A and B are shown apart, each in its own frame.
Chain A
Amino acid sequence: MGMTITEKILARAAGKPSVKAGDLINAKIDLIMCHDVTTPPAVSMLKKHGIDRVFDPDKIVVTPDHFQPAKDIPSAELHKRLDRWAREKNIRYYYPLGRAGVCHALLPEQGHIRPGEVIVGGDSHTCTYGAFAAFSTGIGSTDLAAAIATGMLWFKVPASMKFVLTGTLGHGVCSKDLILEVIRRIGTDGALYRAMEFVGPALQQMSMEARMTITNMAIEAGGKSGIIGFDETTRAYLKGRLKGKTDYTVFESDPDAEYISTETIDCSKLEPMVAFPHLPSNGRPISECAGLPMDQAYIGSCTNGRIEDMRQAAAVMKGRTVRIRTVVVPATPHIWKQMIDEGLAQIFYDAGCVISAPTCGACLGGFMGILAEGERCISTTNRNFVGRMGHPKSEVYLAGPAAAAASAVEGKLADPRKYL
């Protein structure tokens, strides 16, 4: 029996010729992502247990993002702890305020993600990096502490679910719509403990940015990881971008690899989707829900805060004004600058949006666009749980950037295709 790409990557990391789904392994970690919410507690734990060490300061990337710039005194204290630790341990890739960005946009952009590697991060959306043919998964603070100190973590090799993406995304339909459709079909625990492997011809037209939106939301189906194979698009993105080690190993699933299920999605049949409160699996096609009044639009996050997302939102807003308060959050300083250089910032300003510094911000109800009681927000983020962006009686509607922009323009859920 052949192996899946996920099994091959984990076998290499475990130093074994082969592994199969269900095997318990001890894997070597190639890269660790650290941010301001889960890393300070991990560092405190290491100190408390007398194992205050770093397995390799070159294999850890640190960026504050959730509450940066510090939103209040307690978050400033978290940042102080993160900053002191990163400097004390000589963390090679530390991105302080001014260079810091939303982790899952920043690490690929800055060339830290290599195919074939095992990557962990103290954040559930660490599965994003699977877009680069890597195994990548989110962990809590104790696992993070263990990984930082030892460079090793135990894993149960996940069974893989195959998602075959056929056809082509229609005009004004984006990869967010596709992943919302996948989650609608299988549910928020449909991929529990599984690796979600995305294959098929529809991927060929998708940029790395679009692919990252897909793998980013694997966790919203309960997945351990999401993964997309390596191709020319991956190679082109990585060329000249990788920091440190520039070589990498490309793994591919064997033709006779074993999958627990296979689901085919015809991308040509998709239309813009909106996931209704309070689960990401509550997706509805826009044609069935347009017209519902909104109070705020939020365009940003690790799911859809990249330059391509900003371009899609700006294409809708160009020459138009928004009817509801609209918060635009470029995910990294580089994207922020690109928005200015490409004239997108001007378009958002003219439309009446506010543009924030890079931050996770209101996606998780931190700051920069919190909702009041009873308010509704159309958001390009990843979760619409109760109270996710503010008051427990507020509501979050998940969508792609063009749909969020169109809804901002109309002040209600709107189909972006008429503006594109």
Chain B
Amino acid sequence: MPKAHVYKRNHINTDEIIPARYLNTDNVAELAKHCLEDLDPGFVKKCAPGDVIVAGDDFGCGSSREHAVWAIQGAKVGAVIAHSFARIFYRNCINGGFYPIELPGALEKIRDGDELEIDYEAGTIRNKTQNTTIRFTPLPDFALAILRDGGLLEHIKKKEKEKRENVR
């Protein structure tokens, strides 16, 4: 069962998620080894596949480096839940097929180590440890369309194919 790793912090920035000293590569496996290194050097070791990062306001602020999303995806993080997200990071998530869950008050509703079950279609988080169900606002339709296709480039390819077929 996915566990929550709670960071009671606002403004967790892309330098903390993946420090620039590792930006000389775009190899996801390499980036994953350093996920959240300057925030919590022990994170990669304790994160089991599917685990969830929970944080406060403005998660992912700073640089436009999509390496931050790749590091998180590479570390097999299942989801990031935050009060709010920085704009470029949020876009990068959707473009890469990774669902950013915006949940004001997340830090009051989820404790470190809580077991969570997320239903993206229903827009609910089942907190098994606390026996509560938390609702979040699902992404807008256009973003969901990109996510369903697996990311922006897959989405563009699909649209272009549809266009070609319609012309024929």
Q: Quick check: A142 and B96 within 8 Å, CB to CB?
A: yes
Interface residues in B113-161 (C-beta closer than 8 Å to A):
142, 151-154, 156-157, 160
How far, in angstroms, from A240 to B13 measured CA to CA in the complex?
40
Assembled-state Cα–Cα distance A150/B159 (Å): 12
Q: Is B15 a contact partner of A51 (Cβ separation < 8 A)?
A: no
Using Cβ atoms and an 8 Å threshold, which residues of chain A touch B160?
51
B24 interface residue, CB < 8 Å from A?
A: yes
Q: For residue A46, which residue of chain B has the nearest CB?
A: B153
Residues of B29-46 at the interface with A, using a CB-CB cut-off of 8 Å, are: 38-39
A-side interface residues, number (CB < 8 Å): 50
Q: Please measure, in the bound complex, the distance between the C-alpha atom of A46 and the C-alpha atom of B152, giving whole angstroms.
A: 11
User: Which residues of B are interface residues toward A (Cβ below 8 A)?
Assistant: 10-11, 13, 15-16, 19-21, 23-26, 38-39, 57-58, 61-67, 69, 84, 86-88, 91-92, 95-96, 142, 151-154, 156-157, 160
Q: Is the beta-carbon distance between A140 and B65 smaller than 8 angstroms?
A: yes
B21 touches A365 (CB 8 A): yes
Docked-complex contact B16 and A387, CB < 8 angstroms: yes
A residues in contact (CB < 8 Å) with B: 24, 37-38, 40-41, 44-46, 49-51, 66-67, 71-72, 74-75, 78, 122-124, 126, 138-143, 145-146, 149-150, 154, 188-189, 192-193, 219, 222, 224, 279, 364-366, 383, 385-388, 392
Q: How far is the CA of A189 from the CA of B90 in the complex (A)?
A: 14
Q: Known contacts A385-B15, A385-B62, A386-B38; is A66 also within 8 Å of B23 by CB?
A: yes
* Chain A neighbourhood of B10, CB < 8 A: 189
| A-B CB contact pairs (8 Å), 16 listed | A41-B26, A67-B23, A67-B24, A78-B25, A124-B63, A141-B26, A145-B153, A149-B156, A364-B20, A364-B23, A365-B19, A366-B20, A386-B16, A386-B38, A387-B16, A387-B19
Measured CA separation A61–B25 after assembly (Å):
22
* B143–chain A nearest beta-carbon distance, Å: 10
Residues from chain A with Cβ under 8 Å of B84 in the complex: 189, 192
Complex Cα distance A219/B39, Å?
Answer: 21
Contact between chains at B87 and A37 (CB < 8 Å): no
A122 touches B38 (CB 8 A): no
